[in-house]
Amino acid sequence: MEIFREQNHLGRLIHVEPNASNQYIAHVWFDYSLKLMQNLKEGDFIAVESFASNPDGRRHYVILEVVKKLPIHFALVQSVENAKRTYPGFLMESAKSASLDWISQIDESTEETTKIVCEAIPINLGFYITESGVEGPSQSYELPMPGREVKVISYEFMEKILNKGLDKKETVVEVGHLRENSNVKILLDVESLLRLHFGVFGFTGAGKSNLLSTLISKIMEKSPSGTKVIVFDIMGEYLTLLIDLLYKYPDSKVIGVGAETFIQDLYSYYDGNRDLKTAVKSIVITNLYPKRLARKDVKRKFLYPVKKLVERKAFKVFEFGRFKLIEEVFEEAGLNAINISAKDREIILEILNSYKGRLAYEVTADVVKEINSKLTSGKANTEKFKRELLRLLKPPKFHVNEDLFISLEAGWLQELNDKDKKAIYVVQSHDPDSLKRFVSYLASAVYESRRREGRIFPLISFILDEADEYIPQDTYAKGDSKISREAVEMLARRGRKFGLGVGIATQRVVYLDTNIMAQPHTYFVSKLPRSTDRERVAQAFAVDESMFEQTFRFGKGDWLLMSHDATGLESVPFPIHTENAEDRIITFLESFEK
Ligand SMILES: Nc1ncnc2c1ncn2[C@@H]1O[C@H](COP(=O)(O)OP(=O)(O)OP(=O)(O)O)[C@@H](O)[C@H]1O
Ligand SMILES: [Mg+2]
């Protein structure tokens, strides 16, 4: 294996500057050539001999990552202030002639005045070059020798460094490739990713939801058996973005919190009042699609997999309080707390006693009828109780067939704990607050049951897209987000020992609760235009904020990946590119057309 590339371009380590987050920043200059300017990229690895070298010939090199690169012409002014003090005629003329040096030095550097000036940080790895070859990479905190020559590391060796220790693990996937070189594959251990939480941060349109889809698809492929992924889908994007996985894993479901989440035609089909085709068509028409999948000829291809989901009863409804007894509903309405006249209380208890022990939803219609006809005193407190009771007993807007309800009590918890079958669950709601309450309910129930039973398998990952909705700081909290935040914080702090992980994605990092923000061990970071967001990420992961300058040039699917344990390279950010999830979905949809 070649260790170095660009062998005719040597750099020099000009200066080593102490730095709190990275130990030091190395200033490295290369003689300029157009080729090197094109071939040396931010994210590349370079090597400098260190003080661990032996005089007997074993040479030790430390590995540095280039984080900044600038072409500098020393015959030109070095700052705008200086430019403003220079006679413009002279300045323009000298700039014109200096600029020729950029294009006259193609493969080789001939001018002393042109340099490629880089900043690089140590990645805490090094290697030895001995007579018999290369040893390493291995951990190294050695200092490089200032003034010593700097060599550019080959892509092949880079791949080995980036994926150190991962190639033999069973739970490893190829998450993407190095941003600058599609031949350098990047591996990621999905078990660590899930168990130790992860975050995806980038401004709107950066591709966060798309990346989550890609990650989930890779997770499903290589995670330990029985792994479950639950996606809280406040925008309603994931029936589309995960259609292939919903189809492929037969226990997977789309869960609507509140019957109004789904359309009437779906329920009518199960009640025998609509044909399957109509129901499926209505779902496909009203579903959300990213631009490329929204074209009519593409959308049409969703009909088949959605039909299979409907046939399989993969659309499920969750209703809060569905398993409440009628006496619990009366109590919730204030029966025991409120001051009602003895006579009215007697009427109420009489009605209640004739239904006691029954599930509320089964007797709702009869109870409502009796309350309305018998409880007619008109006294303020009685009216208040009545109003509250009728509100709680309000029947769902649609008639929902019994088979469509899902609940932890009636089998879902058991399914989540199944050690063999993998599944994904996309949870949507017509009402954002209901979704927040559901996050809280589900996280607490699952956590409690695991704690009680001492259960650590299978892994369950709670994935929150638009995470600022569920885990905001107090200042930004609205609706029921305080209760979802409490539950997610508990998962983020204590879930890992029970096999419960959290994944979060957001465009506004500053909105997030800082305690939770600091928990993930793996981050994917794209462009964050606001410096406050960048500061927060830098702080949480303990890297220098200047690391994020390279993200300004990132396009869709480009991410700065940093992980304490899921990548081969520990705790050092490096730029990767991930595939477009829409390509995977289109391939899936087209597989039915052959
Ligand atoms: N890896 C990728 N390669 C190519 N295009 C991509 C990639 N990821 C996303 N895109 C494109 O960018 C668009 C926006 O992506 P996406 O919806 O995932 O962004 P987002 O960050 O979730 O945005 P928002 O903040 O609005 O939720 C998509 O429609 C898709 O076409
Ligand atoms: Mg999104």
Please state whether the peptide bond connecting residue 458 to the residue before it is cis, i.e. omega within 30 degrees of 0.
Answer: yes
Q: How far is the CA of 465 from the centre of ligand 2 (A)?
A: 7
Residue 59 pLDDT = 93
Residue 231 pLDDT = 98
Residue 180 pLDDT = 86
Q: Answer yes or no: is the C-beta of 60 below 6 A from any ligand 1 atom.
A: no
pLDDT, one tens digit for every residue, the chain (594 residues): 899 999 888 899 999 999 887 789 999 999 999 999 999 998 899 999 999 998 878 899 999 999 999 999 999 988 999 889 989 999 999 999 999 999 999 999 999 999 999 999 999 999 999 888 899 899 899 999 999 999 999 999 999 999 988 888 889 999 999 998 898 999 999 998 998 999 999 999 999 999 999 999 999 999 999 999 999 999 999 999 999 999 999 999 999 999 999 999 999 999 999 999 999 999 999 999 999 999 999 999 999 999 999 999 999 999 887 778 899 999 989 988 889 999 999 999 999 999 999 988 889 889 999 999 999 888 899 999 999 998 888 777 788 888 899 999 889 999 999 999 999 999 999 999 999 999 999 999 999 999 999 999 999 999 999 989 898 888 787 878 888 999 999 999 999 999 999 999 999 998 988 888 888 899 999 999 999 999 999 888 888 888 888 899 899 999 999 998 888 888 888 999 999 999 999 999 999 986
Q: What is the pLDDT of residues 26-74, one digit of tens each?
A: 999 999 999 999 999 988 999 999 999 988 788 999 999 999 999 999 9
Q: How far is the CA of 202 from the centre of ligand 1 (A)?
A: 10
Q: How far apart are CA 591 and CA 594, in angstroms?
A: 6
What residue type is 270 in one-letter code? Y
Q: Answer yes or no: is the C-beta of 205 below 6 A from any ligand 1 atom.
A: yes
CB-CB contact of 96 with 156 (8 Å) = no
Pocket test for ligand 1, best of 179, 210, 215 (most atoms within 8 A of CB): 210
- The minimum-distance atom of ligand 1 relative to the CA of 214 is 1
DSSP 99-145: HHHHHH-SSS---SSEEEEEEEEEEEEEEEEETTEEEEEEE--PPB-
- The minimum-distance atom of ligand 1 relative to the CA of 210 is 18
| Residue 330 parent element (H or E) | helix 326-332
Tokens 């204030």, residue? 334
Residue 55 pLDDT = 81
| Residue 185 parent element (H or E) | strand 181-189
Residue 378 pLDDT = 85
Residue 480 pLDDT = 84
DSSP 358-426: SBHHHHHHHHHHHHHHH-----HHHHHHHHHHHHHTPPPSS---GGGB--IIIIIHHHHT-SS--EEEE
Please tell me the pTM assigned to this model.
Answer: 0.87
The backbone region for 231, taken as left when phi is positive above 0, alpha when psi lies in -120 to 50, beta otherwise, is: beta
Ligand nearest to the CA of 204: 1
For the chain, state the CA radius of gyration.
Answer: 30
Q: List the domains of the chain with CATH numbers.
A: 4-162 (no CATH), 190-319+400-590 (3.40.50.300), 326-392 (no CATH)
Q: What is the pLDDT of residues 156-172, one digit of tens each?
A: 999 999 998 888 888 99
Residue 33 pLDDT = 96
Please state whether the peptide bond connecting residue 71 to the residue before it is cis, i.e. omega within 30 degrees of 0.
Answer: no
Q: Answer yes or no: is the C-beta of 176 below 6 A from any ligand 1 atom.
A: no
Q: How far is the CA of 208 from the centre of ligand 1 (A)?
A: 6
Q: How far is the CA of 212 from the centre of ligand 2 (A)?
A: 9
Pocket test for ligand 1, best of 556, 576, 579 (most atoms within 8 A of CB): 556
Q: Answer yes or no: is the C-beta of 556 below 6 A from any ligand 1 atom.
A: yes
For residue 425, the cross-strand partners are 230, 253
Q: Answer yes or no: is the C-beta of 209 below 6 A from any ligand 1 atom.
A: yes
